[in-house]
């Protein structure tokens, strides 16, 4: 017989898991030191991280030790969040603070904290209080369980929010389902929502919950219609076991490709599916799900793909763009993005005949950040569109101001990413700006990178034609960087070819054959009425070469670096 005093010495103690939330690493360390023999410890260094962790592993935790005073999302807000999700009904929260004034304590209790500990505290006291809380709570949980098994945390069956069976139940049932359907080919689908954590951050947890509920409903619909079974794996992850048939694959593809089937869908937050076609063998349900999830992982950061079927060993990849994407979003709202203009000159006269708008991030802490540091990430995830639309708008507004002031203006080009072509109606957005600022389309050029042509060439060609026929100038950017493609020049309706300087360096060796390629390209362009501009011109050797090749325009440090718009305005005024 084990006495109360020995209660925590039983093997049960290892089951307990605590989440320590504190912005101070030292405070977390101290608590960890005190508790680590009796508990498995998880840590969050702020309110936001805590909320994310709670979303993911609320079910697994036994207690939360929550610092109330934290920068950003503070402890009260975490409590509010937990209470809103009824988490405080099942998971005890011990609030900790140096500030032990009565209203503070009151507020914490009102929000659902079960205990309050003032700092500094004695080691023994805190250990006893944490352990007592946990054991009392787990007893209470058993009582609750008898009343309402569905909502029980210790022995979970169904997710409260979505009404879908929880992981363990799901896995158990999959096993018997497989045994009962031995003659049907089945597939395990891992389903989630792209960038869902960011969704919560952008649109709020409440909307996020709605999206999850809607998502679960769609999956349950498929399961009901075709005979299948849905499980909730935590966070925004679901599993779906269904027959492997073309009809179901089609439905899944449609869900992934057309977000508008969801009321709470937002661009960039599309449904994603990884599929494992089950080979009968000895694998566990968990392994099947793992494989489906690995397929899902493969397309995680690829906004052009919504469904992926598991093939061989698909390796897991890392990458932490999460924080930066949140920071960029903050920067957008804080108006930290602006554009510089780099002049484009006529090679024979040196006159400034145009400019390219290039984004700059004036970060509140880091100062000026160049595109190389954030554009690739934004392009990969597709979130570049947000920034691009901001820049296009700023450029148009600025041109209008210049024209109103009677200043001279030259065509300005803006960069258009592959993601923009996929996610926006680029022509429509620009038309809106032309209307808003009463501008002539001839003043705006769009630069689309040649690299985009590697993807969905048809879609690109269609958009370029549309832009061109609407009256915008269309430039093919970075031509010759990496692989260059003569077809693109032949097929596309473009006004200007922007040659990458690397392309011209080919011939720096002076080999005739090498020179002949850019020479040929420039000649071909001229024949088709396409202007050529060399980018990244840094020295007189390059200028000489370009003159020999009969290139029309130049852009590069040798002439001008990118500059703030107001400097560019001065430059063209003085030239005038
Ligand atoms: P890009 O469109 O090819 O722009 C030309 C880049 O070359 C600019 O870099 C420019 O500053 C740089 N450059 C110009 N002359 C020289 C030179 O003589 N030597 C060297 N070494 N570099 C030169 P930046 O501003 O850092 O932009 C880099 C890339 O980021 C751009 O390449 C473009 O792909 C992307 N980007 C910039 N602004 C935007 C934007 O608003 N939207 C999108 N989607 N992408 C942007
Ligand atoms: Mg460009
Ligand atoms: Mg370029």
Give yes or no for residue 358 CB within 6 A of ligand 1. Answer: yes
Model confidence at 313: pLDDT above 60: no
| 132 plus 238 within the same structural domain | no
Give yes or no for residue 295 CB within 6 A of ligand 1. Answer: no
Residue 494 included in any domain: yes
- Alpha carbons 450 and 9: distance in angstroms, whole number: 67
Determine the distance separating the centroid of ligand 1 and the alpha carbon of 358, expressed in angstroms.
6
| 132 plus 209 within the same structural domain | no
- Alpha carbons 17 and 61: distance in angstroms, whole number: 5
| 252 plus 309 within the same structural domain | yes
- Stretch 543-549: mean pLDDT: 91
Alpha-carbon separation of residue 149 from 15, 17, 243, 368, 558 (angstroms): 20, 22, 30, 56, 74
pLDDT at 407: 96
Give yes or no for residue 500 CB within 6 A of ligand 1. Answer: no
Q: Which residues contact 493 (CB under 8 A, 6 or more apart)?
A: 464, 465, 468, 469, 474
Sign, Cα dihedral of 522, 523, 526, 527 = negative
Residue 359 included in any domain: yes
- Name the residue with the closest Cα to ligand 1, atom 4: 358
The angle subtended at Cα 340 by Cα 336 and Cα 344, nearest 5°, is: 165
175-189, 276-290, 334-348, 470-484 — which one is most confidently predicted on average? 334-348
Model confidence at 483: pLDDT above 70: no
Atom of ligand 1 nearest to the CA of 478: 3
Give the CATH number, domain containing residue 131.
3.40.50.2300
Give yes or no for residue 415 CB within 6 A of ligand 1. Answer: yes
Give yes or no for residue 556 CB within 6 A of ligand 1. Answer: yes
Give yes or no for residue 189 CB within 6 A of ligand 1. Answer: no
pLDDT at 154: 38
Determine the distance separating the centroid of ligand 2 and the alpha carbon of 500, expressed in angstroms.
10
| 342 plus 300 within the same structural domain | no
Give yes or no for residue 355 CB within 6 A of ligand 1. Answer: no
- Stretch 393-405: mean pLDDT: 97
Least confident span in 60-64, 86-90, 439-443, 511-515: 511-515
pLDDT interval class at 140 (50, 70, 90): low
Q: Which ligand is nearest to the CA of 344?
A: 1
- Name the residue with the closest Cα to ligand 1, atom 35: 371
Model confidence at 312: pLDDT above 70: no
Atom of ligand 1 nearest to the CA of 538: 18
Beta-bridged to residue 428, according to DSSP, are: none
Residue 118, both tokens? 């003032």
- Name the residue with the closest Cα to ligand 1, atom 17: 536
| 312 plus 333 within the same structural domain | no
Domain final residue, candidates 148, 173, 201: 148
Q: Which ligand is nearest to the CA of 376?
A: 1
The b/e string for 447-456 (b: 16+ C-beta within 10 A; e otherwise) is: bbbbbbbeee
Determine the distance separating the centroid of ligand 2 and the alpha carbon of 414, expressed in angstroms.
7
Contact of 501 with 542, CB cutoff 8 Å: yes
Q: Terminal CA-to-CA distance of the chain, rounded, Å?
A: 97
| 428 plus 519 within the same structural domain | yes
Determine the distance separating the centroid of ligand 3 and the alpha carbon of 527, expressed in angstroms.
22
Alpha-carbon separation of residue 385 from 295, 360, 390, 535 (angstroms): 26, 15, 9, 24
Give yes or no for residue 538 CB within 6 A of ligand 1. Answer: yes
Residues shown for the chain: 576
DSSP secondary structure code for residue 314 in this structure: P
Torsion of CA 358, 431, 475, 360, to 10 degrees: 10
| 191 plus 312 within the same structural domain | yes
pLDDT at 317: 31
Give yes or no for residue 388 CB within 6 A of ligand 1. Answer: yes
The angle subtended at Cα 76 by Cα 34 and Cα 57, nearest 5°, is: 60
Contact of 502 with 475, CB cutoff 8 Å: no
pLDDT at 178: 81
| 141 plus 231 within the same structural domain | no
Give yes or no for residue 417 CB within 6 A of ligand 1. Answer: yes
pLDDT at 10: 38
Q: Which ligand is nearest to the CA of 475?
A: 2
Alpha-carbon separation of residue 238 from 165, 358, 471 (angstroms): 10, 41, 47
Residue 159 included in any domain: no
Q: Which ligand is nearest to the CA of 391?
A: 1
DSSP secondary structure code for residue 487 in this structure: H
| 135 plus 199 within the same structural domain | no
| 558 plus 411 within the same structural domain | yes
How many domains does the structure of the chain reveal?
3
Residue owning tokens 């022509």: 427
Alpha-carbon separation of residue 545 from 510, 515, 553, 567 (angstroms): 10, 9, 13, 29
Domain final residue, candidates 258, 283, 316: 316
Phi, psi of 195 (to 5 degrees): 55, 35
pLDDT at 513: 55
Q: Which ligand is nearest to the CA of 417?
A: 1
Q: Which residues contact 526 (CB under 8 A, 6 or more apart)?
A: 532, 550
Q: Which residues contact 474 (CB under 8 A, 6 or more apart)?
A: 445, 446, 448, 464, 467, 468, 492, 493, 494, 495, 496
Residue 158 included in any domain: no
Determine the distance separating the centroid of ligand 1 and the alpha carbon of 397, expressed in angstroms.
21
User: Among 360, 371, 392, 418, which residue has the most ligand 1 atoms within 8 Å of its CB, making it the best to mutate?
Assistant: 371
Give yes or no for residue 480 CB within 6 A of ligand 1. Answer: no
| 352 plus 497 within the same structural domain | yes
pLDDT at 148: 36
- Alpha carbons 354 and 259: distance in angstroms, whole number: 39
Contact of 534 with 542, CB cutoff 8 Å: yes
Give yes or no for residue 395 CB within 6 A of ligand 1. Answer: no
Determine the distance separating the centroid of ligand 1 and the alpha carbon of 398, expressed in angstroms.
20
Beta-bridged to residue 343, according to DSSP, are: 355
Residue 108, both tokens? 């914490």
| 363 plus 489 within the same structural domain | yes
Determine the distance separating the centroid of ligand 2 and the alpha carbon of 389, expressed in angstroms.
15
Residue 154 included in any domain: no
Residue 349 included in any domain: yes
pLDDT at 104: 84
Contact of 8 with 131, CB cutoff 8 Å: yes
Residue 422 included in any domain: yes
Q: Which residues contact 139 (CB under 8 A, 6 or more apart)?
A: none
Least confident span in 14-28, 136-150, 300-314, 513-527: 136-150
Give the CATH number, domain containing residue 504.
3.20.20.450
pLDDT interval class at 152 (50, 70, 90): very low
- Alpha carbons 43 and 207: distance in angstroms, whole number: 27
Q: Which ligand is nearest to the CA of 342?
A: 1
Give yes or no for residue 228 CB within 6 A of ligand 1. Answer: no
List strands edge to edge, sheet with 40-44: 40-44, 17-21, 63-67, 93-97, 115-118
Model confidence at 353: pLDDT above 50: yes
Residue 281, both tokens? 């063998």
Domain final residue, candidates 292, 316, 340: 316
Torsion of CA 216, 220, 223, 225, to 10 degrees: -130
Residue 421, both tokens? 């072509």
User: Among 358, 452, 476, 533, which residue has the most ligand 1 atoms within 8 Å of its CB, making it the best to mutate?
Assistant: 358
pLDDT interval class at 156 (50, 70, 90): low
- Alpha carbons 531 and 536: distance in angstroms, whole number: 17
Give the CATH number, domain containing residue 236.
3.30.70.270
- Name the residue with the closest Cα to ligand 1, atom 21: 536
Q: Identify the domain containing residue 242 by its residue range.
A: 165-316
Residue owning tokens 């050529």: 532
Alpha-carbon separation of residue 1 from 4, 7, 10, 132 (angstroms): 10, 10, 11, 20
Residue 157 included in any domain: no
Residues of the chain by 3-state class (helix, strand, coil), percent to 5 = 50, 20, 30
User: Among 375, 378, 444, which residue has the most ligand 1 atoms within 8 Å of its CB, making it the best to mutate?
Assistant: 375
pLDDT at 24: 93
Q: What is the pTM of this model?
A: 0.57
- Alpha carbons 67 and 237: distance in angstroms, whole number: 29
Digit-coded pLDDT (tens) for 373-384: 889 888 888 889
What is the secondary structure of 102-170 as a DSSP string? HHHHHHHHHTT-SEEEESS--HHHHHHHHHHHHHHHHHHHHHHHHH-GGG-SSS--B-TTT-PEEHHHH
pLDDT at 157: 80
Contact of 390 with 374, CB cutoff 8 Å: no
């Amino acid at each position: 017989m084990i006495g109360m005093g020995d209660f925590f010495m039983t093997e049960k103690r290892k089951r307990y898991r605590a989440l320590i939330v504190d912005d101070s690493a030292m405070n977390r360390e101290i608590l960890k030191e005190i508790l680590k023999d009796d508990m498995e410890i998880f840590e969050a260094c702020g309110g936001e991280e805590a909320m994310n962790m709670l979303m993911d592993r609320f079910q697994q935790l036994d207690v939360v030790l929550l610092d109330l005073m934290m920068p950003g999302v503070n402890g009260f807000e975490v409590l509010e969040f937990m209470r809103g999700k009824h988490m405080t009904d099942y998971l005890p929260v011990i609030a900790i603070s140096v500030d032990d004034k009565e209203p503070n304590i009151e507020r914490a209790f009102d929000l659902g904290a079960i205990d309050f500990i003032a700092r500094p505290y004695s080691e023994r006291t805190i250990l006893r209080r944490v352990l007592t809380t946990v054991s009392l709570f787990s007893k209470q949980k058993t009582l609750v369980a008898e009343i309402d098994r569905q909502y029980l945390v210790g022995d979970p069956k169904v997710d409260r929010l979505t009404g879908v069976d929880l992981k363990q139940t799901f896995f158990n049932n999959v096993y018997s389902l497989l045994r009962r359907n031995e003659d049907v080919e089945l597939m395990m689908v891992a389903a989630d929502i792209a960038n869902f954590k960011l969704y919560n951050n952008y649109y709020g947890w409440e909307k996020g919950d709605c999206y999850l509920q809607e998502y679960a409903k769609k999956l349950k619909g498929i399961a009901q219609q075709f005979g299948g079974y849905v499980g909730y794996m935590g966070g925004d992850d679901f599993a779906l076991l269904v027959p492997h048939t073309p009809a179901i694959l089609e439905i899944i593809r449609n869900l992934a490709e057309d977000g508008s089937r969801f009321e709470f869908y937002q661009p960039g937050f599309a449904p994603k599916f990884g599929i494992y076609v089950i080979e009968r063998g000895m694998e566990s349900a968990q392994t099947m799900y793992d494989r489906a999830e690995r397929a899902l992982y493969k397309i995680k950061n690829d906004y052009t793909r919504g469904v992926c079927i598991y093939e061989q060993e698909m390796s897991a990849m890392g990458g932490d763009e999460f924080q930066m994407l949140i920071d960029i979003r903050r920067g957008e709202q804080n108006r930290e993005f602006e554009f510089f203009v780099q002049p484009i000159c006529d090679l024979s006269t040196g006159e400034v005949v145009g400019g390219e708008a290039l984004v700059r991030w004036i970060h509140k802490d880091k100062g000026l950040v160049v595109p190389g540091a954030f554009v690739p990430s934004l392009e990969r995830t597709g979130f570049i569109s947000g920034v691009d639309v901001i820049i296009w708008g700023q450029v148009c507004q600025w041109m209008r101001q210049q024209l109103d002031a009677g200043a001279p203006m030259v065509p300005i080009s803006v960069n258009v990413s592959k993601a923009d072509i996929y996610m926006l109606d680029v022509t429509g957005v620009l038309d809106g700006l032309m209307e808003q600022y009463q501008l002539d389309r001839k003043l705006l050029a769009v630069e689309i990178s040649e690299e985009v042509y590697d993807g969905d060439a048809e879609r690109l060609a269609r958009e370029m034609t549309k832009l061109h026929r609407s009256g915008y100038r269309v430039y093919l950017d970075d031509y010759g960087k990496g692989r260059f493609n003569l077809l693109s020049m032949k097929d596309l309706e473009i006004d200007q070819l922007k040659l990458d300087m690397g392309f011209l360096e080919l011939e720096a060796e002076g080999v005739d054959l090498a020179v002949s390629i850019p020479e040929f390209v420039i000649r071909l362009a001229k024949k088709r009425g396409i202007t050529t501009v060399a980018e990244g011109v840094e020295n007189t050797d390059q200028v000489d070469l370009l003159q020999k090749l009969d290139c029309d325009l130049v852009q590069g440090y040798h002439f001008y670096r990118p500059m703030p718009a107001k400097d560019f305005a001065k430059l063209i005024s003085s030239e005038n």
